[in-house]
Amino acid sequence: MIVIIGAGPAGLSAAYHLGDEEYTVLESEAEPGGLCRSFDLGGATFDLGGHAFFTKHDDVRELVEQLCEPGVYAQPREAWVHSHDTFVRYPFQSHLHGLPSEVVEECLVGLYEAARRQPLAAPPANLREWIELTFGPGIAARFLLPYNEKLWAFPLTEIAPGWTSNRVVTPDVAAIVGGALRPDRFSDFPNAVVRYPATGGFANLYQGFLRTVGDRIRRHDVVEVRPGESTVRVEGGATIDYDHLVSTMPLDELVRRTDGLDDCCRDAAAELRHNSLHLVNLVFDRPAMTEMQRVYCADPDIPFHKLVLNSNSNPELRARPCFGIQAEVSFSAHKRVDPEGLPDRVLAALRRIGIAGADDRVSAASVVTVPRAYPVQTPGTVEARGHLLEEFRRRRIHCAGRFGEWLYINSDDAVLRGRVRAEEILADRAGGSVD
């Protein structure tokens, strides 16, 4: 028996790719989907954070599109930045045109200074240094530093920079200068075109995986893993035997619930960091408030770092008589956020930046808290996660997913990593190996 802990994209992908093997999926939540779940409020549909599908893996895209029963809708990503009382296109560093002239000048002079320093004598030690050395002090101070401070809710000097090449758009100097002189649209980044289910919320993208798993998903919270006995104990006391275990459970939680680990594993788990999100969901009783899909904001006086205008994610949502806006507000021990009154503060900010008018009425509102939103990559993360993953692999426990592997990845990579875990198990059963 193969046991899979967690029915998010990684767990569902592992199950799908195991084919006819005997397996069971254990899910602690009432609804499968992990961080890719959706919910309805006041006639609008929201996701657990801003979701849109894009990938550099053609085979993953083809599989997801094949299994998505409603079909997949693709469109250019209408992402914007609100900065210095105006809107410019995302990413900020490529669309300086339209900002106040003194801001543009400061950004370009700083960019020139950064370019003159290349190549660097030593690599940047943290995210703050990487931003300043890559883009210069102007772009750093005017947007990228305050935005990332809001997003991560951690001191940027404590965040390692090794992941940035895959997540932060880094145009060349010519593209930045061109975007300052002309109202160009820079689109040389992976999610310039995004996909979403043709109807409903993002959760529909993974319903096809659920159909293949069928009744092999069981509602259970795993309370203990015993590698020495190859068993998992679930809430209520029942024990399930396994010969291979796939875990998408957060890595630190897996350490806490696994019997027989050395102290070095507990110490490694203590190195892992993450932030959390309050998702403020507002439903307005009119449609088509804006064509924007995302808005990013670095202003410290505005509570959110990102707006998700999910009503523009597909034509079916766009045609509804209401309009849903979700504000992401990060928090951590370094940045406390009181959820009390947060919808009113978000609404005031929407009116301030001009997305909502004084007469626009909110017909429904809620705050949904996501305790684990993004793994934060500190200097100790790489060694800690590497040690833990190897220790679990030796015990025939295969970890997968964003928090299962403690990596800042999207659902496409979660699908890919779930497939790889399944292939490892199949190869092991066949007496082979997978690179």
172 and 218: one domain?
no
Residue 167's pLDDT is what? 78
In a domain, 261, yes or no: yes
Beta strands in 254-361 (DSSP E): 273-284, 294-297, 306-308, 323-331
pLDDT tens for residues 187-232? 888 888 999 999 999 999 999 999 999 899 999 999 999 999 999 9
Q: Of 150, 181, 212, which one is at a domain's C-terminal end?
A: 181
Longest CA span, the chain: 68
In a domain, 362, yes or no: no
Beta-sheet strand order (sheet of 217-219) = 217-219, 23-27, 2-5, 244-247, 397-399
In a domain, 121, yes or no: yes
pLDDT tens for residues 219-231? 999 999 999 999 9
127 and 253: one domain?
no
In a domain, 401, yes or no: yes
Q: Of 125, 147, 181, which one is at a domain's C-terminal end?
A: 181
Count of the separate structural domains present in the chain: 2
Angstrom distance (rounded) from CA 384 to CA 379: 9
In a domain, 300, yes or no: no
Supply the range of the domain harboring residue 122: 92-181
In a domain, 247, yes or no: yes
8 and 144: one domain?
no
In a domain, 298, yes or no: no
165 and 235: one domain?
no
Neighbours of 116 (CB within 10 A): 8
Token pair for 54 = 């894009």
111 and 163: one domain?
yes
pLDDT tens for residues 22-69? 999 999 999 999 999 999 999 999 999 999 999 999 999 999 999 999
169 and 217: one domain?
no
In a domain, 301, yes or no: no
Work out the percent of the chain whose per-residue pLDDT is above 70.
99
Average pLDDT over residues 284-313: 97
pLDDT tens for residues 355-370? 999 999 999 999 999 9
pLDDT tens for residues 40-53? 999 999 999 999 99
164 and 97: one domain?
yes
Question: Do the Cβ atoms of 218 and 340 come closer than 8 Å?
Answer: no
114 and 246: one domain?
no
165 and 232: one domain?
no
Q: What is the pTM of this model?
A: 0.94
220 and 250: one domain?
yes
Length of the chain in residues, anyone? 435
125 and 162: one domain?
yes
We report the CATH number of the domain holding residue 216 as: 3.50.50.60
Peptide bond into 339 cis (omega under 30): no
DSSP annotation string for 234-272: ETTS-EEE-SEEEE-S-HHHHHHHBTT--HHHHHHHTT-
Q: Of 113, 148, 181, which one is at a domain's C-terminal end?
A: 181
Q: Classify 190 as helix, strand or coil.
A: coil
What ranges in 119-229 are assigned the alpha helix state H? 127-139, 145-152, 164-167, 173-181, 207-213
164 and 213: one domain?
no
